[in-house]
Amino acid sequence: MGVCDAIRRITRVGKSTAMSAPHLPKVAGINPMVPVSAHTPAGSRSEAPTAPGTLVQDRLAGWVSDLTTLHELTERLARTSTLDDALHELLDAGATLVGARRGLVVFEPSDRRGPVSTVGLGLAHAELGHIETVPRSVTSCGRILEGLPGAEGAQTTPDLLGDTSLDPRRREVAARLGYAASYALPLTAQSTGRLGAAVWLYDEPTEPREQRRHLVGLYAGYAGEHLARLLELERARADTATLTEELLPSRLPRVTGVQLAARHRTTPRGGGNWYDALDLPEGALGLAVGSVNGSGPSALAAMGRLRAGLRAYAVMEGEDPVAVLSDLELLLRLTEPARSATALFAYCEPAHRKILLAGAGHNPPLVIGDRRTEFVETSLSAPLGMLACWEAPSVEITLAPGETVLFYTDGLLRRTGDSTDRAFARLHSAAAGVPKALRDDAGSIADHVLRTVLADSSDPGERTQELSVLAARFD
């Protein structure tokens, strides 16, 4: 919105003859840090005659101040990246513009697909609960949310306690919580329609002046479009999380002599990290972790195909991990010729605590026990899809009773500016520092390692890296 356009819109708020009036009330600018009270009636004092040029300058100065404040508030809103942060910012900015101290916003998209949220300003959780006991059809906010006739625009209630035509329950709650007036606005967007409603509460009977109503209306229009964009992102994240959850194991198998635990974290866009554990013939157990390069729905689809393919190959020839990964490499080349992936597959014999494993460009597993914490020595190998024909030797290890093998993806190691050696040293230190009291539980070991490694990062983006961890403790 250009400054000139905004000035023309603000000009239409007042009477067209206001500029020629002999004694105009000055329209003051709004300080975004100190809310301007809307309680003082206008025109209560006479002013000394002022030159027409001074009146024009004062009026323009007020408009520029209002536009500057509006710009600053919308810039602050634009910097929010989650619905919750945006709703809190909306409430704060609206309170500044209309001169209120308290308020609430109910986010409830009209398509009923969610998410639904209620955020308060200066109201405790219990106070919000009291307000929700008032029937929706008799409150300004509720009428907007229900789409009732006459509730398409702003809803002003200047005297909640003195207006006997209002619902008794509404007046009772207002008296109990100590507010005497309200001003409500619908939150809408062109692409989604009604998203919710915001209401600001005053301690005394009053209503915002017309200039304030105009400014908060402009702000609410921008806020609605911003909330619509965040809603789309939020729903995309939820859909991605649901799809990822469906593509990963719904439960881990119960195998005598082995305790399993898995942890998985995904990014908002979704990615190709995965883990798996499956029963194999003759009491054996197959364990796998892997990562498909890329992110988004295509990476999720590729991950699902690889995991399904590996399960089939593991059942047919799981006792030979090299053959399993060779078949998986062929599958990747045929279905995703432009994509690469890393994978590790382990064939376990729980009765003998023996593991035969092979890896394709993947990180070596980590053995954690009372007497040792060390990485398994595996040979270097290329990721799947990188060579015309993949092959690498397998490695056999034997565990002592009570030892745990930790399989993990690259997300556990990645740090901006960190060397590979430092990343592995940090992981080794976290595993070696698992308290003895936690070493009897695979889930506790995985949680401790995750918590310790991720706590070292000062970058929130790195703490939300996609990763998979699979822990197997052998009795």
Residue spans per domain, the chain: 3-238, 250-474
Phi-psi label, residue 455: left if phi above 0, alpha if psi -120 to 50, beta otherwise: alpha
**What are residue 336's phi and psi, to 5 degrees?**
-135, 70
Handedness of CA 290, 292, 294, 298 (dihedral sign): negative
Is the pLDDT reported for residue 38 higher than 50? no
Tell me, what's the pLDDT at 48? Answer: 53
- The strand order across the sheet containing 193-202 reads 117-121, 102-107, 193-202, 181-189, 155-157
pLDDT of residue 98: 95
| CATH number assigned to the domain with residue range 3-238, chosen from the 4 options 3.40.50.300, 3.30.430.20, 3.30.450.40, 1.10.10.10 | 3.30.450.40
Strands (E), 84-192: 102-107, 117-121, 155-157, 181-189
Q: Indicate the pLDDT class of residue 456, thresholds 50, 70 and 90.
A: low
Average pLDDT rounded to a whole number, residues 332-358: 93
Does the pLDDT of residue 459 top 80, yes or no?
no
pLDDT digits 0-9 by tens, 109-148? 999 998 999 999 999 999 999 999 999 999 999 999 998 8
The reported pLDDT for the residue numbered 120 is 96
Residue 347 pLDDT exceeds 90: yes
pLDDT recorded at residue 297: 81
- From the number of C-beta atoms within 10 Å of its C-beta (0-12, 13-18, 19+), residue 334 rates as exposed
What residues have CB less than 8 Å from 395, skipping those under 6 apart?
Answer: 356, 357, 358, 376, 377, 378, 379
pLDDT above 80 for 103: yes
Among 9-13, 295-299, 455-459, the range scoring the smallest mean pLDDT is 9-13
352-388 pLDDT, tens per residue?
Answer: 999 999 999 899 999 999 999 999 988 778 899 887 6
Residue found by looking up tokens 């100065």 in the block: 61
**Cα(285)–Cα(359) distance, integer angstroms:** 17
Residues in CB range of 207: below 8 A, 6 or more apart:
38, 156, 158, 181, 183
Three-class SS of residue 441? Answer: coil
Q: Say yes or no to pLDDT of 166 above 60.
A: yes
Q: How many CA atoms lie within 13 A of 100 on its CB side?
A: 34
Asked whether this chain's domains 3-238 and 250-474 adopt the same fold, the reply is: no
Bond from prior residue into 135 cis (ω within 30 degrees of 0): no
Q: Are 336 and 385 in contact (CB under 8 A)?
A: yes
CA distance 474 to 367: 11
**pLDDT at position 222 over 90:** yes
Q: Which of 53-67, 138-152, 344-358 has the lowest mean pLDDT?
A: 53-67
Say if pTM beats, i.e. exceeds, 0.85: no
Check whether 61 has a pLDDT greater than 90.
no
Which one, of 213, 228, 203, lies nearest residue 154 by Cα? 213
157 Cα distance to chain centroid: 35
Residue 157 confidence (pLDDT) above 90:
yes
Which CATH topology does 250-474 take? Phosphatase 2c; domain 1 (3.60.40)
- The CA distance from 319 to 62, in Å, is 80
